Amino acid sequence: MTENQIAKLVLDAAFKIHRRLGPGLLESVYETVLEHELTQMGLAVERQVPIPLLYDGLKLEDGFRADLVICGRVIVELKSLEQVAPVHYKILLTYLRLANKRLGLLINFGEEHLKDGIKRVANSMPE
């Protein structure tokens, strides 16, 4: 399954969840429910995945945590805010680079219309 195929399934599930639950819940609720939906679809889902940082021989094991990693290929970062800040995109791009992944999705369940809260972030330089 390609990153784009995985992303489509993630977004389908996210829209379903947002229609049923609406905005305004805690991120952890959306994370749990999205994991459930994706698992029901047969996708491998990991939650709160550590992303180590290597710097000059120093390894920080728990420097960062991705909310969800789907099929080992797509990182999903969830928010439940009125509006995401530009730094949230940069954080996801950093996660992609550190984890050597090509595609990430930033999904803000806090938006009234979920389509306004979705951002695809691509790492054009995976190693």
Q: Domain limits at 58?
A: 3-122
pLDDT tens-place string over residues 59-115:
888 778 999 999 999 999 999 999 999 999 999 999 999 999 999 999 999 999 999
Can you tell me the distance from the alpha carbon of 87 to that of 95, in angstroms, rounded to the nearest whole number?
A: 12
The whole-model pTM stands at: 0.93
Q: What CATH number does the domain containing 82 carry? A: 3.40.1350
pLDDT tens-place string over residues 22-41:
998 999 999 999 999 999 99
For residue 55, the model assigns a pLDDT of 85
Q: How far apart are the first and last CA of the chain?
A: 20
Q: Does residue 45 fall inside a structural domain?
A: yes
If one counts the domains in the chain, the total is 1
Question: Residue 104, SS3?
Answer: strand
Q: Does residue 127 fall inside a structural domain?
A: no
